[in-house]
Structure 1
Amino acid sequence: MTLTLTNIAKTFPGGTKALLPTDLEIAKGEILSLLGPSGCGKSTLLRIIAGLEIPDPGASIVFDGDDVTHQSVESRKIGMVFQSYALFPNMSVRSNIGYGLKMQKLPKAEIAARVDEVIGLCRLEPYADRAVTALSGGQKQRVALARAMAPRPRVLLLDEPLSALDAALRNHLRDELALLLRQFGITAIFVTHDQDEAMAIADRVAVMSQGQVAQIGTPEALYRNPATGFVARFVGDAMPLEGRIERAQMHLPGGVLTLPQAGDGQQVLVRAGDISIDPQGPITGRVETVTFLGTHYRIALSGVMAGPLFMLHAGLSAPKPGDEVRLSIPPEALLVLPMEMAA
């Protein structure tokens, strides 16, 4: 199902603009992530699509040619998965999944067939007759997905579906969620503040900032070609370099870097993974801290610029705090972007 959003905005009583006019086109079967920090408008946009919030006048929400802007939540035929899962603790897995179908007064045989179908899709057969209170966080997530999918919704909306889980489980279920959504083949939109989650699951990511979409594209496009410093910082943790730009050079306290292009009136950012220790490197820094992270070390450096600079080092050993090191950054790894106005 295609989803077309036109001029979607939300102003709350008192004049607070939670969402500025936004247009989005989501293709049939596409998985789109709304990614951004708290308060950027992503959950407001999701709730407007669901019918839980009323947009400002002039908005248009169209599902496959059907204008649902003024339709109720029930008539929009959407599936929703909430952060808390919102499962009924006194019901079995099977009863939870079938509850919405029962409310629709479908024939018992059809309810049973649909429940069996999504139980199979979500690999819940061993748990079908268990109480949901006896399930792990990951199993509960699959029940919530199955319940949302059982009524065969036109679009699936997920609001921070993994944020209630601990870090280790979240990483595992992130991949499982991506697989399940693609098996369903349904148009899906999910809200997250976690860039790894968005990039692992979504076909496209809409990065949101201050009530509007800052940039939309595939995870690769956003990472390799961010349009603004905000997007570069949010997708890939790019760090602004603090120095003086003259033509195609950046002058830092620790040395001079060659830029891929003239950078007058612009800002320069770099990612920690693009900085390397190089005895012939053009800049010098002092090691302040070294953190071992299994596959690599994270090193904090001083002296390169006024503030700290972080790098990732993949060697079998790392320099020690207090060591002076020479560093290099390939010019093509430097992100030269327009200077942002202060908020």
Structure 2
Amino acid sequence: MTLTLRSGSKTYPDGTVALTPTDLHVEPGEIVSLLGPSGCGKTTLLRLVAGLERPDAGSEIWFGEDNVTDLPVEKRKIGMVFQSYALFPNMSVRKNIAYGLKMQKLPADEIDRRVAEVLKLCQLEPYADRSIAALSGGQRQRVALARAFAPRPRILLLDEPLSALDAALRDKLRDELAGLLRTFGITAIFVTHDQNEAMAIADRVVVMSHGRIMQAGTPEELYRNPKSRFVATFVGHAMQIDGEISGSRLVTQGGSLQLPDDAAGCSVFVRAEDVHIVGDGALSGRVESVTFLGTHYRVGIAGIASETIFAFHVGQPPPSVGDNVRISIETKALLLLPEQADAA
């Protein structure tokens, strides 16, 4: 089932513009993440698709060939997974999954068949008759997904589905969630503020800010080719190296860099994994922090740009605070971004 949003927008009675006119198309079976900070409009967009909010005049929402703009939520045939899962604690896993099917007044044998199907898909068969209170966080997440999928919705919507879990469990279940969504083969949209979650699960990521879409693309496209400083800094935490640009060279406090192109009107950014501490680097600075992160050290270096530049250092020993170091950055790793790219 395709999803198409045409000039979708939402303005609240007090004049607050939560979503500016926005176009979005999602292909059948595609998993799309709406990614952005709090207040960027991603949850508003999800609620418009769900029918939980009424859009402004001129907005259109299509499920395939059906215009659902004016349909109430109960008639849109969507599945929803909420941050809290919203499971019934007094019911077993089986009864939670069957609840929506009973509301559809399906025959008992059809309900049993569908419940058995999703129990197997979500690897919940051993827990079918347990109460929700007896399940782990990961098992509850699978029940919420199974319950949402059992009625065979046209589109599945997920609102921060992993945010209620602790960090270790969230990392484990991220891959599991991606696998389940692809097993279902259903068109899915999920909201998150966690870039790692979005990039690990989604086929395509839609980055939002201040009620509008800043850029959409595959996770790799967004990471390698951001079109604005907002996308570069939000997806992958790119850092600006400021200085004076002359043609294809950047002169900074700590030295100079060869740029990939003439950078007039651009700002220069780099990611920490592309900053290398070496003996003969073109830039020099002073180490002001060293943080051990298990697989590498995160080294903060002052004196290269007006803000601290970080490098990921692998190997031992790491430099010490106060050391003078030299760094190198490959020309192809530099991101040249238009200075006015976020000002639309």
TM over 0.5: yes
The correspondence of residues 159-198 of structure 1 with structure 2, limited to 5 A, is 159-198=159-198
Gaps of 5+ in 1: none
Give me the whole-angstrom Cα distance separating, in 2, the residues matched to 1:229 and 1:28: 31
- State the partner residue of 1:206: 206
Partner of 1:156: 156
* 1:275 is aligned to 2:281: no
Runs of 4+ in 1 over 6 A off after TM superposition: none
8 A contact 2:297–2:312 mirrored in 1: yes
Q: Unpaired runs of 5+ in structure 2? A: none
Which 10-residue stretch deviates more, 141-150 or 283-292?
283-292
TM-score, normalising length from structure 1? 0.98
Q: Is 1:144 aligned to residue 144 of structure 2?
A: yes
In the aligned structure 1, how far is the partner of 2:35 from the partner of 2:304?
31
Residue in structure 1 matched with residue 62 of structure 2 by the alignment: 62
- Deviation at residue 342 of structure 1 after TM alignment: 6.5
Amino acid at match of 1:160: E
Contact kept, 8 Å, 2:208 with 2:214, in 1: the verdict is yes
1:216 aligns with 2:216: yes
> How much has 1:317 moved relative to structure 2?
2.4
Match of 2:333 in 1: 333
Kindly indicate whether residue 246 of structure 2 is the aligned counterpart of residue 257 of structure 1: no
For 1:233 and 1:314, how far apart are their aligned partners in 2? 23
SS at match of 1:105: coil
Q: Which structure 2 residues correspond to residues 234-249 of structure 1 after superposition, within 5 A? A: 234-249=234-249
Q: Which deviations, in whole Å up to 9, do the C-alpha atoms of 1:257-311 show, x marking residues without a partner?
A: 1111111221111100000012111100111111111111101111111221111
Q: How does 1:302-321 map to 2 (within 5 A)?
A: 302-321=302-321
- Quote the offset at 1:252 in angstroms: 1.0
Task: Name the SS of the counterpart of 1:96 in structure 2.
Answer: helix
Q: Is the 8 A contact 2:277 2:311 kept in 1?
A: no
Amino acid across the alignment from 1:169: L
- Residue identity opposite 2:271 in structure 1: R
Task: Give the distance between the partners of 1:171 and 1:134, measured in 2 at CA.
Answer: 22
CA offset digits 1:233-278 (Å, max 9, x no partner): 1111101112222211111111111111111221111100000012
Separation in 2, partners of 1:206, 1:24: 9
Give per-residue Cα distances to partners, 1:10-37, cap 9 Å, x unaligned: 0011111100000011100000000011
Aligned to 1:103: 103
**Aligned counterparts of 1:316 and 1:157: Cα–Cα separation in 2:** 46
RMSD: 1.1
| Count of aligned positions | 343
Q: What does the per-residue CA deviation read over 1:42-92, in whole Å, with 9 as the maximum and x for residues that have no partner?
A: 000000000000000011111110111101111110000000000011111
1:109-150: CA deviation from partner (whole Å, max 9, x where unpaired): 111111111010000011110000111110000000000001
Question: Are 2:83 and 1:83 equivalent residues in the alignment?
Answer: yes
- 2-side partners of 1:142 and 1:248: how far apart? 52
